[in-house]
Amino acid sequence: MTTLSSRPDSGVSVGLDVPHESAALHVTGAAVYTDDLVQRTHGILHAHPVCSTHAHARVRGLRPEPAYDVPGVVRVLTAADVPGVNDAGVKHDEPLFPDEVMFHGHAVCWVLGESLEAARRGAAAVEVDYEPLPAIVTVAEAIAAESFQGGQPTVVRGDVEAALAGAAHVFSGDIDFAGQEHFYLETHCSLALVDEAGQVFVQSSTQHPTETQEIVAHVLGLDSHEVTVQCLRMGGGFGGKEMQPHGFAAIAALGSRLTGRPVRLRLSRQQDMTMSGKRHGFDARWRVGFDEAGLLVALDATLTSDGGWSLDLSEPVLARALCHVDNAYWLPDVRINGRIARTHKTSQTAFRGFGGPQGMLVIEDILGRCAPLLGIEARELRRRNFYADDQETPYGQPVRHASRITAAWDQLVDSADIAAREAEVASYNASHEHTKRGLALTPVKFGISFNFTAFNQAGALVHVYKDGSVLINHGGTEMGQGLHTKMIQVAATALGVPLARVRLAPTRTDKVPNTSATAASSGADLNGAAIKNACEQITARLHEVDAGRGLPWEEVVREAYFSRVQLWAAGFYKTEGLHWDSSLMRGHPFKYFAYGVAAAEMEVDGFTGAYRTRRVDIVHDVGDSLSPLVDLGQIEGGFVQGAGWLTLEDLRWDSSSGPGRGRLTTQAASTYKLPSFSEMPEVFNVSLLEEAHEDGVVYGSKAVGEPPLMLAFAVREALREACAAFAPEPGFSVDLASPATPEAVFWAVQAARTGAPAPVTEGAPGVEPDQPSSDAPALHPHSEQVASRVPGNPVTGHEARP
Ligand code: MTE
Ligand code: MOS
């Protein structure tokens, strides 16, 4: 066992069931978020955007003058005010003040007012002349127009054409599935101040304070040491605050710099939904080969993500999607192409799972649709195809501990009484004509680490004061996920002091510099190891002071001070053994994989498509948990958020040719349905995989933030099973839209009722729709085509229909 992962024999605070460190503050409303600072700040100005009313247009003229006639308007910020670089992105493709608007709601300029109302009225008074340009709204339109951005990577292993030619069964199909709105409770918010020496201080709801600092500095034409960013805590980030806060922070900082007053920018819910990026929806087309026994032999797929107007994090999100198409399954010969559509929409971005869920949806959809055509139960088909220990992923990384998938699966089959319940479901379905049930199990394998190796580093600062109390600071941000709770537990364990002796100070760029985003679920792995490193430097020094006397903590600390021994330390950690070649899409990008298995039982009403979740059972692998209550919350929350993505949350953009083209039509909680109490499973059992110690990770734990989201595929697959039960004959292959809203389920039930068999065609279309047909690889003579879209089913994805 490595020293990083081993736990001491006594004084161990990791692994204790402690509540979130701010739980009491959260539930009493006393927890302070960035916007709460407004009441404590004197002389503040409020920022309001002037938003584009076109999805794509050239800005021919901008007249801010009328805004100054509005009482309370102090300043209109435009491109002419930018002292540095007029760009809010790291890819330099996101002008902060654009002369070409790229989506409906794009901010053209910003108005500062004595009150938010004054700023709003001022923004309404600004006159903008637009020259409308053609807009691409759907991925299908982008593919047709060849509107792509960024690289087009491919993961390849073996000879996919030969493998498909030799396969006993070949199927092809496609799916176009929706993105997701983050809907963090706290919308984007920044508050900026400039002090008498010109030092800029920005408080921001950001998952990536260092990058916020860098963007603010380059917009203002300053060096990084002139800008400090602090994040107190976030009311949720979910990836939506990894890159999107920077521009808002830069506007607040610019306003403060120009007026000398504090500037607050907080988006309303509607502004947040229309202006900020979301999870990428994808279009996927595939051909898959199976052998006689139902083992996967080949997969050829093209994934096109909907990147929106700028690149943002679309490239790494796509890379992670390509690296997760395999999920838990051994795919001998593969070719997975990826590309990013450029559309006139918000710039889609990180969202819990970061492309992983989108990649995994493709293979889970394939297995769910092909199982009936192969005549194999979906549960059996999945299990048969699991990785064996140390088989390699398509990108060349051995799958360590793959047998944990099978172990968790078998444990769940047992603990959730699956065999008996399958029989119950069958008899229920036989005796109920208008409601049907489905039960499904799905696995998760999720790679932990940033694909980009350099990001896998972290720093921490640990102070021990003369009285023995401890203050820690680290590079990670708290967004509700319990990172700070875990970090306090790690410090207390490493120093051998009670939890109550340790306090944690908010994340600031002047405490720990050059941090990575708190993302990729790696916050605890990276920052925990850095804190442990700092603590160990201190305990090594104290050990010498103590010289075998076994003094109590407070005494040895006092003595160390009087002996002039340094009582604080900066810690550092970098993950060893990672390498990734992004041009070849090969390497060993992940430190390890997190595993999980879920079983869901759903009941569908055939008249309406309405459904309910009768029971969910989960076994999830968190290694040796650092904080079991926190982990439980992450698993439950991630699962429900995933179920929301797959079944309820239906982003719709106006794709008509009318004047509202490109407008997000679901821009409030009234039209965008989120999971709530009524969607919670009636029975919800979550357990942690036992004997799951992870060597080489801080105190033997595993990351937990994102992987549980993907456990929700069990819900979607159970809905598919329930829909299939409406078919007159067994073995019906159900094509289910994603999100599987009640409307989509209704149409899937209609298709099943008519029992229309999946059309079997030879020479099905190639994976590349825009490829000349002469180049299209000929399919195996026995190829079968999975029904693409059921005729008469108007649910064709997530775009609003005119
Ligand atoms: N949990 C809560 N409550 N709120 C959040 O915003 N974000 C998720 C996950 N869990 C999130 C959350 C995402 S997208 C990530 S990457 C991880 O937390 C980040 O934190 P970690 O690295 O500390 O797990
Ligand atoms: Mo999480 S999507 O990596 O912020």
Share of the chain above pLDDT 70, in %: 94
This prediction has a pTM of 0.95
Whether residue 734 has pLDDT greater than 50 = yes
Residue 521 Cα to ligand 2 middle (Å): 7
pLDDT digits over 163-219, tens only? 999 999 999 999 999 999 999 999 999 999 999 999 999 999 999 999 999 999 999
Band of the pLDDT at 802, cuts 50, 70, 90?
A: very low
Return the number of other C-beta atoms located less than 10 Å from residue 429's C-beta: 18
* Catalytic site residue from 181, 242, 706, 717: 706
CA 748, CA 494: separation in Å to the nearest integer? 55
Residue 351 Cα to ligand 1 middle (Å): 9
For ligand 1, pick from 183, 278, 521, 626 the residue to mutate: most ligand atoms within 8 Å of CB: 521
- Do residues 525 and 705 lie in contact, with contact meaning Cβ atoms separated by under 8 Å? no
- Work out the mean pLDDT of the chain and round it to a whole number: 94
Which residue's structure tokens are 């002139």? 226
Q: Is residue 53 classed exposed, middle or buried when 0-12, 13-18 and 19+ CB atoms within 10 A define those classes?
A: middle
Measure CA of the first residue to CA of the last residue in the chain; give whole Å: 61
Measured CA to CA in angstroms, residue 428 lies from 214, 423, 434, 454 at distances of: 60, 9, 11, 54
pLDDT digits over 392-423, tens only? 999 999 999 999 999 999 999 999 999 999 99
Tokens standing for residue 117: 């109302």
- What pLDDT score was predicted for residue 2? 81
Q: What is the DSSP-derived secondary structure letter of residue 9? A: S
Average pLDDT over residues 681-690: 96
Q: Which atom of ligand 1 is nearest to the CA of 525?
A: 22
Alpha-carbon dihedral sign for residues 307, 313, 315, 317: negative
Nearest Cα neighbor of 485 from 625, 639, 624, 352 is: 625
Whether residue 659 has pLDDT greater than 70 = yes
DSSP-based three-state secondary structure for 600: strand
Nearest Cα neighbor of 155 from 317, 374, 301, 311 is: 301
- What pLDDT score was predicted for residue 755? 81
Band of the pLDDT at 581, cuts 50, 70, 90?
A: very high
- What pLDDT score was predicted for residue 470? 98
DSSP-based three-state secondary structure for 74: strand
- What pLDDT score was predicted for residue 799? 37
CA 92, CA 13: separation in Å to the nearest integer? 45
Which residue's structure tokens are 């003369």? 466
DSSP-based three-state secondary structure for 433: coil
Q: What is the DSSP-derived secondary structure letter of residue 647? A: I
Q: Residue 51: in which H helix or E strand, if any?
A: strand 45-51
- Do residues 235 and 153 lie in contact, with contact meaning Cβ atoms separated by under 8 Å? no
Return the number of other C-beta atoms located less than 10 Å from residue 648's C-beta: 18
pLDDT digits over 435-452, tens only? 999 999 999 999 999 999
CA 475, CA 479: separation in Å to the nearest integer? 13
pLDDT digits over 347-360, tens only? 999 999 999 999 99
CA 550, CA 540: separation in Å to the nearest integer? 14
Average pLDDT over residues 370-377: 97
Tokens standing for residue 374: 């192969």
Protein residues whose CB sits closer than 6 Å to any atom of ligand 1: 236-239, 352, 479-481, 483, 518-524, 634, 637, 703, 705-706
- Is residue 681 within 6 Å of ligand 2 at its C-beta? no
Q: What is the DSSP-derived secondary structure letter of residue 454? A: G
- Is residue 352 within 6 Å of ligand 2 at its C-beta? yes
- Do residues 244 and 277 lie in contact, with contact meaning Cβ atoms separated by under 8 Å? yes
- What pLDDT score was predicted for residue 59? 98
pLDDT digits over 275-289, tens only? 999 999 999 999 999
Q: Which atom of ligand 2 is nearest to the CA of 353?
A: 2
DSSP 674-735: PP-GGGS-SEEEEEEPSS---TTSGGGB---SSGGGGGGHHHHHHHHHHHHTTSSSS-----
- Do residues 401 and 593 lie in contact, with contact meaning Cβ atoms separated by under 8 Å? yes
Q: What is the DSSP-derived secondary structure letter of residue 226? A: G
CA 48, CA 113: separation in Å to the nearest integer? 8
User: Is 706 assigned a catalytic role?
Assistant: yes
CA 188, CA 245: separation in Å to the nearest integer? 7
Residue 656 Cα to ligand 2 middle (Å): 33
Q: Which ligand is nearest to the CA of 638?
A: 1
Q: Residue 597: in which H helix or E strand, if any?
A: strand 592-605
Tokens standing for residue 554: 């407070």
- What pLDDT score was predicted for residue 568? 98
Band of the pLDDT at 785, cuts 50, 70, 90?
A: low
For ligand 2, pick from 184, 231, 242 the residue to mutate: most ligand atoms within 8 Å of CB: 242
Cα angle value 379/733/285 (rounded, 5°)? 95
Question: Which region among 12-21, 569-578, 657-666, 755-764 has the lowest average model confidence (pLDDT)?
Answer: 755-764
Q: Which residue has the higher pLDDT, 795 or 297?
A: 297
CA 436, CA 463: separation in Å to the nearest integer? 60
Return the number of other C-beta atoms located less than 10 Å from residue 66's C-beta: 14
Band of the pLDDT at 501, cuts 50, 70, 90?
A: very high
Q: Which residue has the higher pLDDT, 129 or 800?
A: 129
Band of the pLDDT at 768, cuts 50, 70, 90?
A: very low
Which residue's structure tokens are 């603010």? 216
Helix axes 523-546 and 483-495, enclosed angle (nearest 10): 20
Whether residue 767 has pLDDT greater than 80 = no
Average pLDDT over residues 110-126: 98
